[in-house]
Structure 1
Amino acid sequence: MDSLVLNAPAKINLALQVQKLREDGFHELKMIMQSISLADKIKLSKSSEGISLSSSSNELPLDNSNLAFKAAESFFSANQVEGGVEIYLEKNIPIAAGLAGGSADAAAVMRGLYKLFELEEQTAKVKSLLAQLGSDIPYCLHGGTVYATGRGEVLEQLPELDKKHLLVVTPAVKLATPTVYKQYDNLAAESEFNFEAILKNLKFEEKVNWSLDYKNDLQPAAESLCPQIKEVEELLKESGAEFTLLSGSGPSVFAVYPLAKQAEQAAKNWPRKTDFITAAETIPSY
């Protein structure tokens, strides 16, 4: 095999609770993470030596500050293989948007390199390598519906959701995750979450009960930095969404609709012309 193409799906957070600040400077978290059909596309091609990276986006760094590049470096450091790789990223996921686009790319590159060089993917080893690059990258290795704790790297697979029809809206503002967490600390809000009820709902009940604590503790902080988030959420509710929530540290907001055609119609009629907007759906693990 000389080359392959694979998807790097985005993720949304169905719930995100921020807990105590750890000694390493990160917060303890409880999250429900979910893969969606919005995805970057990645092509990997064998080369004689080294790592090269190119992209459809001119906003991405193409050196070893890029997570996809770092994932390739980690792969070659951990495995005795000859040759190198050329990586091409077709960017479809908005950057710095709370959708884990960079993390998804890194995980897909790692997953793809094991296939390209025909090595057995030892999941625990690979997740350990990815955890050194970023907290949510191990999740992006195989996605699905997952309960994540720690910094986001301790993962428990949950039963797959029935397909949910979504609209994802990203205002034309970039929010850096550390900035949002710093604002969260500045606001000194106390989290009130019944996570056990959420887990019980997802593990044992047929339908998602959106009236439970499916919420995001980072939302007030993100809204204070990007007031457009509130306007987006109000418009989504007016369009007939049954549930809306900020994803990750934002500014992306997603909405759940009973039918795919409702999400598609809301996208077609969306009034804010500078937003990124796409209809999508939840997907199982991959």
Structure 2
Amino acid sequence: MNEISMKAYAKINLCLDVLGKQANGYHQVEMVMQQVDLYDVVTVKCNPMKKKKNDVQITDPIVVTASRNDLPVGETNLAYKAAKLMQETYKQDSEIYIHLEKNIPVAAGLAGGSADGAAVLLALSQLWHLHLELQELMELGVQLGADVPFCIMGQAKKMQNLQLRGKEWASTCAFAEGIGEKLTPLPPLDCLVLLSKPSIDVSTAVVYNGLCLEDIKSHPDTKELILGLKEKNLRKIQKNMINVLETVTLRDYLLVAEMKQYMENFETAYQVLMSGSGPTIFALYTNRKKARLAYINSKKKSNETYLIRTLS
């Protein structure tokens, strides 16, 4: 086998709290992340390395293509970075071809790029028969970004015939600490999710830089939300679904604030929240009829609107 295709799932934040800023500039966070059934399809193919007679490499051994023309596919792409990291770490002499069939909105607070990078790490570990520990791959993933380890553990949960040890860590829901890389598996939420991304992009770095901890009036009780997941108590979950980054994004990006208000005005979801640093707003439903009606209305505001489910 020299080719594998896999689903790279998006995530939402059921809560996101910022506790402070570390000396290295990264923010210390507590959050609960949940994967959803919206995914890119990542295809990875490996061939033996082609070389000239003098043993000089002919071309870049990593090639990334995508279904979206506006997506950068060079060295800044996380799928490219993931392939390069795997090559350098495990000394594999292969040409790597990656194609990204993009369905997750770009720069949306849904970890689409991180999911693609995670899929490449998992795919190459399979194609090269490395038989790694899941946690080893997650520790490698954090070098690419704070969301990548969670994407790895969630995608590992959905993969069949996975050649990774330590699969008990695989989960589609997790409590994240540190910069988001310290993960504890949690029971997943089971509900419908309405996602809608306004027609703007939001920079995560800009949002975090604009965050003033002293101005945050409401923080989630993350422990109580986790207890709600374990007890399947929607009231406890709903009460603590707070994202402190909304204090920046909703203030500075009018379209995001308008989208959240628009979805709240339906008064049919049990909670409406921004995912990550935005701009995507999501609403949680247990009633399919109400969710479908909200989807039809939200689609009028943004083409990038989806009615999906959480992943178990």
Task: Please give the range of the TM-score, normalised by the shorter of the 2 chains.
Answer: over 0.9
Gaps of 5+ in 2: 50-60, 155-171
1:74-113 map, 5 Å: 74-113=85-124
CA 85–271 in structure 1, closer or farther in 2 if over 3 Å, else same: closer
1:165-180 map, 5 Å: 165-180=192-207
Deviations 1:19-70 (CA, angstroms, capped at 9, x unpaired)? 1110010111000000000111111112233111000112221111111100
Q: What is the CA-CA distance between 1:148 and the residue it aligns to?
A: 0.2
CA–CA distance in structure 1, aligned partners of residues 214 and 255 of structure 2: 19
Number of aligned residue pairs: give it. 282
Residue equivalent to 2:11: 11
Partner of residue 83 from structure 2, selected from 72, 90, 96: 72
* Identical-residue share of aligned pairs (%): 33
Matched-pair contact (CA < 8 Å) for 2:251–2:257? no
Equivalent AA in structure 2 for residue 10 of structure 1: A
Q: What is the CA-CA distance between 1:83 and the residue it aligns to?
A: 1.7
Residue equivalent to 1:207: 233
1:160-239 map, 5 Å: 160-161=188-189, 163-185=190-212, 188-189=215-216, 192-203=219-230, 205-209=231-235, 210-239=237-266
Q: Which segment is superposed worse, 107-116 or 263-272?
A: 263-272
Q: What is the CA-CA distance between 1:190 and the residue it aligns to?
A: 5.2
CA 45–261 in structure 1, closer or farther in 2 if over 3 Å, else same: farther
Deviations 1:223-270 (CA, angstroms, capped at 9, x unpaired)? 122112222122222332121100000000100112234323322233
CA–CA distance in structure 1, aligned partners of residues 74 and 82 of structure 2: 12
Partner of residue 148 from structure 1, selected from 176, 189, 195: 176
SS at match of 2:258: helix
CA 159–270 in structure 1, closer or farther in 2 if over 3 Å, else same: closer
Q: Which segment is superposed worse, 123-132 or 20-29?
A: 123-132
Deviating above 4 A after TM superposition, structure 1's stretches of 4 or more consecutive aligned residues are none
Residue equivalent to 2:30: 30
CA–CA distance in structure 1, aligned partners of residues 220 and 242 of structure 2: 8
Residue equivalent to 1:247: 275
SS at match of 1:24: coil
* Structure with larger Rg: 2
Residue equivalent to 2:144: 133
CA 176–187 in structure 1, closer or farther in 2 if over 3 Å, else same: farther
Gaps of 5+ in 1: none
Residue equivalent to 2:287: 259
Deviations 1:76-112 (CA, angstroms, capped at 9, x unpaired)? 1111333221000011111111000110100011011
Matched-pair contact (CA < 8 Å) for 1:166–1:260? no
CA 191–256 in structure 1, closer or farther in 2 if over 3 Å, else same: closer
TM-score (norm 2): 0.86
CA 231–187 in structure 1, closer or farther in 2 if over 3 Å, else same: farther
SS at match of 2:239: coil
Residue equivalent to 2:125: 114
Deviations 1:168-204 (CA, angstroms, capped at 9, x unpaired)? 000011001000111113874355332222222223x
Q: CA RMSD in A?
A: 1.7
Q: Which segment is superposed worse, 109-118 or 9-18?
A: 109-118
Matched-pair contact (CA < 8 Å) for 1:19–1:191? no
Matched-pair contact (CA < 8 Å) for 1:17–1:191? no
Matched-pair contact (CA < 8 Å) for 1:8–1:104? yes
SS at match of 1:60: coil
